[in-house]
Chains A and B, each alone.
Chain A
Amino acid sequence: EAGVTQSPTHLIKTRGQQVTLRCSPISGHTSVYWYQQALGLGLQFLLWYDEGEERNRGNFPPRFSGRQFPNYSSELNVNALELEDSALYLCASSLTGKNIQYFGAGTRLSVL
């Protein structure tokens, strides 16, 4: 069974640009979560989608947004990139109402 897959694995962008990260959850999982992990830090919660709806949002500015598609895959969009957006972005999925979140390998974003 395939795990959570994320693409691309690495990205290099410049300040002010926009980026889209993609995530495919484990088959059958309807909840998708996005986390930001800046270098040397723990994971910070960004967004939670379930059944196509945004259910919760972390303490991030509105230029961080996303959506979930009918097949439960998800996109994270970051507009007007800033240097401090450089981080590993991790996507996780779970069954609705279940505790355990399963993570992908992440997308490493570098903003120059």
Chain B
Amino acid sequence: AQKITQTQPGMFVQEKEAVTLDCTYDTSDPSYGLFWYKQPSSGEMIFLIYQGSYDQQNATEGRYSLNFQKARKSANLVISASQLGDSAMYFCAMRVPRQSGNQFYFGTGTSLTVIP
């Protein structure tokens, strides 16, 4: 069975500091994709970053980077230089195409609050 776990219900970070949001996953399939989405209070899920299981390097997108540790089955999101607009819910998700096609499995999310 496929599973995504986010153990931090809420996190606080000072503006301009870096923050790491934790995500662990479980799948026995060697081919999978890992995603992070941001959900502001408006409700829309905004795609942030993607990491494939066979990618050799950690993914980066601007201030977002994904710390991919395959042996530990972790895919933590690192946000550098936090901004007030980063305050939102953050969801980690996984896709295992050979098991379940394009279906995403989501974690329960982490609420990030950036403090001025």
Contacts and interface: CB of A to CB of B under 8 A. Distances in A.
B111 to A, nearest CB: 10
A90 B102 CA distance: 15
Contacts of B106: 35, 42-44
Given A45-B105, A48-B102, A55-B101, A100 B47 contact: yes
30 contacts: A33-B102, A33-B103, A41-B108, A42-B4, A42-B91, A42-B106, A42-B107, A43-B45, A43-B106, A45-B103, A45-B104, A48-B101, A48-B102, A48-B103, A55-B101, A56-B100, A94-B102, A99-B35, A99-B52, A100-B50, A101-B47, A101-B102, A101-B104, A103-B44, A103-B45, A103-B47, A105-B44, A106-B43, A106-B44, A108-B43
B101 A56 contact: yes
Interface of B: 4, 33, 35, 37, 42-47, 50, 52, 91, 93, 95, 100-109
Contacts of B37: 103
A46 B49 CA distance: 23
Nearest to A50: B102
B91 A43 contact: yes
Interface residues of A, number: 26
Given A43-B45, A56-B101, A90-B45, 13 more contacts: A31-B102, A33-B102, A42-B4, A42-B108, A42-B109, A50-B102, A58-B103, A99-B35, A99-B52, A101-B47, A101-B104, A102-B47, A103-B37
